[in-house]
Structure 1
Amino acid sequence: MWDVIFVALVLAYLLGGIPAGAWVARARGVDIQKVGSGNTGATNVLRTLGWGPGLAVALFDILKGALVVVLARQLFDEPVIWALCGLLAVLGHNFSAFLRLKGGKGVATSLGTLVAIDPVAGSAALVIGFVCIVLTRFVSAGSMVGATAGLVVVLVLGRPWWEVLIVAVLAGLLVWQHRDNIRRLSSGTERRFGEKAAS
């Protein structure tokens, strides 16, 4: 049984690590890791290549997080394993084996994972994060606020310990991945949503 769980976790990491942003940009002759923030996530793709590629990458990254959890549900009866697979997908996205352990910041993949684990918490994170982005035009701020909101919701609703732990890890990882953004927000140099990436 443990060998099956190990294989599932490895596959979750590899699926999460599929670098859609890097591949979409490469197809258009752009090395996404050398422009803008250097991240392969949807925000940098949108700023660099426009709305179409950006939305396509966002959708793919959300779906791969959700898909990993859904597939794990078909294989295992234990929800802790579903959540661990989702976490591995996010780690795969952030530290992709296909990109020498580089990647994105895990916002979309974390959202897909959270929605699949707990639709209520995931929906709350999405709505609150989106409202924050609309009000501030800072994607980074909205992402961190949304992640924090998801954690607050699972705590308030008294979800099982494993879910609280996984959501806390996801939120903490997301905030850590945004540490440079936090410094730029503090200094007033953070780019707002809609601003083009520097080439």
Structure 2
Amino acid sequence: MEWQTGLILLLAYGFGAVPAGVWVARLYGVDIQKVGSGNTGATNVLRTLGAGPALAVAAFDVLKGGIAVWIARGVGLEGPLLGGVALAAVLGHNYSVFLRFTGGKGVATSFGTLLFLDPWVALLTFPVGVLTMWLTRYVSAGSMVGGLAAVVVAVASGRPAWEILTVLALALLIFWTHRENIQRLQAGNERRFGERVEVGPPGNQR
């Protein structure tokens, strides 16, 4: 049973590590890690390539986290082990083995894992993050406030300790991957939602 659990955690990491943003950007002749923030997530894809590619990447990143949890639950994992699967998927996205342990910031994948882990908490949290993003026009602010909201909702609704700790760990990961954004927010030079990034020709992108 221990080796099976280890295999499922490894598969969850592998699901999360699939670099959808990199692959979609390559279809447009762009190395997404060399433009904008260098991030592989949907926000950088949006700023670089537009709404269509960004929606495709966001959907994939949500689903890969959710599918990892769904498969784990389907083979009987529950409780802390299921929380471990959620974290493994997000860590795979943030530190992908396919990208020399770089990647995205884990927001969409965190939402996907939470959506399959506890749909009620996820659906209550989502509008908070979106509203924050809409009011501030900062994706980073919406992401971090959404992470905090998930913790508050999980605690307030009396979720089990393992789930609260999982949600807290996901929120802390979001804050960690947004540490540079926090500095830019404090300095007043964070990019706002909708701002585009100039993309040069292949080999000369910035």
TM-score range, shorter chain: over 0.9
Aligned length: 199
Per-residue deviation, residues 35-79 of structure 1 (Å, max 9, x unmatched): 000000000001101100000000000011111111111112423
Q: Which residue of 1 aligns with 2:187?
A: 187
Structure 1 residue 197: deviation in Å?
Answer: 2.0
CA distance in 2, matches of 1:77, 1:124: 25
Q: Which residue of 2 aligns with 1:48?
A: 48
Secondary structure, counterpart of 2:165 in structure 1: helix
Secondary structure, counterpart of 2:101 in structure 1: coil
Per-residue deviation, residues 122-146 of structure 1 (Å, max 9, x unmatched): 1122110000111111000000000
Per-residue deviation, residues 132-174 of structure 1 (Å, max 9, x unmatched): 1111110000000001000000011111110011100000010
| TM-score, normalised with respect to structure 2 | 0.95
Provide the alpha-carbon RMSD of the alignment.
0.9
Q: Which residue of 2 aligns with 1:196?
A: 196
Q: Which residue of 2 aligns with 1:95?
A: 95
Structure 1 residue 84: deviation in Å?
Answer: 1.1
Contact 1:73 1:79 in 2 (8 A): no
- Taking only the aligned residue pairs, the percentage that are identical comes to 57
Q: Which residue of 1 aligns with 2:144?
A: 144
CA distance in 2, matches of 1:20, 1:26: 10
Contact 1:76 1:82 in 2 (8 A): no
List structure 1 runs of 4+ shifted beyond 6 angstroms: none
Q: Which amino acid aligns with 2:7?
A: V
Contact 1:124 1:146 in 2 (8 A): no
CA distance in 2, matches of 1:77, 1:143: 28
Secondary structure, counterpart of 1:175 in structure 2: helix
Q: Which amino acid aligns with 1:133?
A: M
Q: Which residue of 2 aligns with 1:122?
A: 122
